[in-house]
Amino acid sequence: MHADRDAIPDSDPFALFDTWLAEAQKTEPNDPNAMALATASADGAPSVRMVLLKGHGPDGFVFYTNAESRKGGEIRANPRAALLFHWKSLRRQIRIEGPLEEVSAEMADAYFASRHPESRLGSAASDQSRPLDSRKTYIDRVEQLRESYGEGVPRPPHWTGFRLAPERIEFWIDRDHRLHERRLFVRSGSGWTSGLLYP
């Protein structure tokens, strides 16, 4: 196998991300925008869960959540995170690291309003990550909100979005016999430096 065949290019990492995501949207059977989000508490205890990417561009990668959930509390206490996209069908992954900032209320309102009505009701009814005595309690809360608001339930003030501003973006391709290919982009001023890493 030629050493440079299908090499990950030293190019604009956001354009490369767009290309890989577009290819994943054609091959992944469910949620090609799913990503693992790793956060840590103020004392450094890590946790990770899957969330959905809901916006991206040169300013960063956006997801939405209940800011009173475990991840929301960790973000408030330690506003740095790591993301991982793993597209098994393509044998590719992308790791992204950087600080987090909350999106504007207007942006959170607009995204909340774009969600399916049932998803809006479910989010507004949930005390995410807190103990729940029975599923019936949660469903009853959904129904109470439906009776009060119909499909027009407003965005709860604690339901918001966060943008990760990347400082490091690593692209990885699975190769035969674990001779994988990795390229790391590191923010440098207003641009990026890039280099290959041993697998």
Alpha carbons 164 and 21: distance in angstroms, whole number: 17
User: Within 13 Å and on the Cβ side, how many CA atoms surround 190?
Assistant: 0
Question: Which residues are part of the catalytic machinery?
Answer: 178
In single-letter form, the type of residue at position 18 comes to D
